[in-house]
Amino acid sequence: MAKLDEIDKKLIACLQEDFPLVMSPFKELGERLSLSEKEVIARIKRLKARGIIKRIGPVHNPQNLGYGRRTLVGMSVDRDKLENTAAIVNGFPEITHNYLRRGGSFNLWFTLICPTQKRINDIIREIKHRSGIRRLISLPTIRTVKIKTVFKP
């Protein structure tokens, strides 16, 4: 895999820490990095294709948006049911992360953020019903700890 050049590194830093909130953010990034808007977009697409960038988007504070209930859910899903179960889980907009972990009893994990505990319970019940998976653990948020993570390429 090719190494990142200095422009890629600077672009990644800007995307993480200093993304311009303007009408043409990629044009602004291009001006900062002496690139055209088209070149910035092409680099981002290339970095996404390589898996270096997963997504570009805001990080919201769920409580400020009225979503005060959060839980981390782990499911024990047989390999042959993973794709279908992940599709079911991903169908709920309240699910912010969904990922596969190897090792341990629970292999499919997701984060669920809702305005009420009832909604969390309803979604978990629906996922269990539609997937047929019964082995599930819900670990509600007790205390919020915010950690700013910035990846240095």
- pLDDT tens digit sequence for 78-88: 999 999 999 99
Span of 50-59, 77-86, 129-138 with lowest mean pLDDT: 50-59
Nearest to 88, CA basis, from 141, 132, 54: 132
Mean pLDDT in residue range 115-130: 96
Question: What pLDDT score was predicted for residue 153?
Answer: 64
**Type of residue found at 48:** K
| Nearby residues of 23 by Cβ (< 8 Å), 6 or more positions away | none
Question: What pTM was estimated for this model as a whole?
Answer: 0.62
| Nearby residues of 132 by Cβ (< 8 Å), 6 or more positions away | 81
Are the C-beta atoms of 139 and 87 separated by less than 8 Å? no
Task: Give the three-class secondary structure for 87.
Answer: helix
Q: 2-16, pLDDT tens digit by residue?
A: 689 999 999 999 998
Tokens 């997963």 sit at which residue?
A: 54
Question: What pLDDT score was predicted for residue 17?
Answer: 87
The yes-or-no verdict on residue 145 having pLDDT over 80 is no
Nearest to 146, CA basis, from 60, 77, 78: 60
